[in-house]
A and B are shown apart, each in its own frame.
Chain A
Amino acid sequence: MIYKWLDERLELGKFKDKFLSKTFPTHPTFLLGEIALFSFITLVITGIFLGFLYEPSMKMVSLYGAKVPSAYASVVRIDLLPMGMIIRRIHHWSAMVMIAAILAHLMRIYFTSAYRKPREINWLVGLALWGMAMVAAFTGYLLPYSQFSVTATSIAYYISKSIPWIGGWLSRLLFAGEFPSAGTVPRFFFMHVMLIPLVIISLIGLHMVILIKQKHTEPASNRHRKEAQGGKRLIGIPIWPEQTVISLSFYLFLLFIIVLVATYVPLNPIEKYGPPSPGTPVMRPDWYFLVVYGFLKLVPGDLSFSVAGGKITPETIGGVIFPAFLFLVFALIPFLDRVREPQHYIANPLRRPFMTSFGIGGGVFLCMTVVAGYIDVLHITPRTMTVYTIVATLAAWAVSYALLRLYNKR
């Protein structure tokens, strides 16, 4: 009845034919992007809850007799509410899962060469989504205004300030003046709850529209099935109802796991960190920043030089040039690995020795920079660690390349 009423006005039937019958290939690794999307939905929902209770202000208030910033006090109050702390943990865990899923999705696309023509644009949109997810996570660090928040944000402030020529201006723009300033928390709050989510939602929309237009790549095994039509029509299941049922049950299962983990594993215990105070304890950022964190430890302090009146410091090299270079390499991949004909089937990574071994070498390099974040507990000097990193990277690349060549000869 209601469907008929709506259909007469909105032509739902047409919409159903056009979008809801889109085919999904049935392959388990094709669900990785959906994990990222679902985590984002969880983030929005828990974020709305937190947004109702959080106070983006540096005004000093009294909390159990101590003078603390009201941002910190409001997060302590959230933690004391029934379900408050668990919602905050679900929010934080979902952010970690979202970035992990984005990376796993990216690795799947990379190793199956699904970024090739005609999907270069969506590869770039995906990279932008990854970057924005990291920025969103980073702006979220500051909001509880604990000792951890201030340390992490202060480091980012000095990294952005170290950029030659525009650093001073840019850091004051991002941090609302010299950090710590009374304006930093409100500005980060606005970016975290408004600006960045808007950009992310727009990018997700673009990612999806392009996906629907171009269709998924198909598992290579589909090529030999007799229904195969070479990318014109996919073999798989429609969005409605089959894929929706799968996705929904999958989302509920993911939510169950996250809630379970959030219940038992503490995360960002701001009551333990306390409000900002003199003294910086050993603290490491969340896992996805460990690459940059580790690399900052490797850059020697005397490595600085001047270019055209701007001073390039170790902080700029480790905190700006290095991550920018990583993103550039990722962005260039589909433009270096070119094909003439549009590709509709995923490639077998074992059959592509160069790209696969390059990916393995790159992966080992990133893992080694993560290890570099722990040189203080491993008692390794930065110089030795740098040698280890280079050796491990080249060895992984060379060995995997040799093995894959051998495999393909047989």
Chain B
Amino acid sequence: MVDGNAGSKEDRKGITRRRFTLGILVASAAGALVSVFSLLKVLSPEKKGGGYVSTISSGDKLVYAKGAAMGASVEASSFKIGDAMLVYPAGKSSNPANLVQLIKLKEDEFKPPTKKGLTDKGFVAYSAICTHLGCTVSWVRDRKSPGASYTECFCHNSIFDPAEGAKVMGGPAPIPLAQIGVKVAGDGSLVFTSDFTGPIGPQV
């Protein structure tokens, strides 16, 4: 402990005090480091099942997600070719991952990779959550030729082609929107027939 070369008693005392202080400093620094880690963990809470996890199940009825008819059943007869709407599965509107864009196109318009088995009478549905940064996509309608209409995210202008499996036609989105199966039920309403075909939401 005591340095052999030290001179007077005061000097040796000084060194001991210095080492003592240094010891305390090192110990507190180590303690602080440990507690900072746990503090940061507390401040950064992990939620179980975070991110976009859809809770749509096969057989759920489609309801309008916005507008005057919000919450009412979607009616197939109200759609013309080239129309699109934002829809939710009935009773599951609190989960944003369930937001779906329902589009009606001409039946012979679909090209792969659209899964034709998941479409019905020209109705096709894709996740409405942009795969870039999570904004809701919109429908840009070409009134003169409905076939030239497309899905666009207005946040950073990613463009998706609904007739070709929502493939990315332009903009920064990394992957297509995931398709989900729909069919027209006997009473003219629409129901989901499958889960999403791929990942939904931002791919980060």
Contact = CB atoms under 8 A, between A and B. Distances in A.
Interface of A: 151, 154-155, 157-159, 161-162, 167, 169-170, 172-173, 176-178, 181, 183, 277-283, 293, 296-297, 299-302, 304, 313-315, 318, 375-376, 381-382
Interface string B159-172: 00000000010111
B86 A278 contact: yes
A113 to B, nearest CB: 37
A297 B172 contact: yes
A262 B110 CA distance: 51
B44 A301 contact: no
B47 A302 contact: no
B174 A173 contact: no
Given A176-B45, A301-B172, 6 more contacts: A173-B43, A278-B86, A280-B136, A301-B171, A313-B203, A314-B172
A370 to B, nearest CB: 14
14 contacts: A151-B135, A151-B155, A155-B135, A161-B204, A162-B202, A169-B40, A177-B44, A178-B50, A278-B86, A283-B155, A296-B156, A301-B158, A301-B174, A315-B172
Interface stretch (B126-134, B181-189, B191-199): B126-134
A296 B157 CA distance: 10
Given A177-B45, A283-B154, A313-B203, A155 B134 contact: yes
Contacts of A318: 172
Nearest to A160: B204
A181 B45 CA distance: 10
Q: Categorize the interface residue count of chain B.
A: 35 or more
A301 B44 CA distance: 29
Contacts of B99: 278
Nearest to B96: A278
Contacts of B51: 178
Nearest to A178: B50
Contact of A297 (B135, B138, B157): B157
B134 A304 contact: no
A280 B153 contact: yes
Q: Identify the 7 closest CB pairs spanning chains A and B, nearest first.
A: A162-B204, A178-B50, A173-B44, A280-B135, A172-B44, A280-B136, A158-B202
Contact of B154 (A154, A159, A281): A281
Nearest to A314: B172
Contacts, number: 107
Given A154-B134, A277-B66, A301-B171, A376 B47 contact: no
Given A158-B202, A315-B202, A301 B47 contact: no
Interface in B51-83: 51, 65-66
B172 A169 contact: no
A293 B132 CA distance: 13
B173 A301 contact: yes
A154 B40 CA distance: 22
A301 B136 CA distance: 17
B202 to A, nearest CB: 4
B65 A299 contact: no
Contacts of A279: 65-66, 86, 136, 138
A158 B204 contact: yes
Contacts of B136: 278-280
* Residue from A155, A183, A283, A300 having most chain B Cβ neighbours under 10 A: A155
B46 interface: yes
B128 A278 contact: yes
Interface string B92-127: 000010010000000000000000000000000000
B31 to A, nearest CB: 21
A169 B44 contact: yes
B172 A155 contact: no
B65 to A, nearest CB: 5
B174 A278 contact: no
B196 to A, nearest CB: 17
B138 A313 contact: no
Nearest to A159: B133
A18 to B, nearest CB: 36
A146 B50 CA distance: 23
B144 to A, nearest CB: 17
Contacts of A299: 172
A58 to B, nearest CB: 13
B64 to A, nearest CB: 10
A250 B202 CA distance: 48
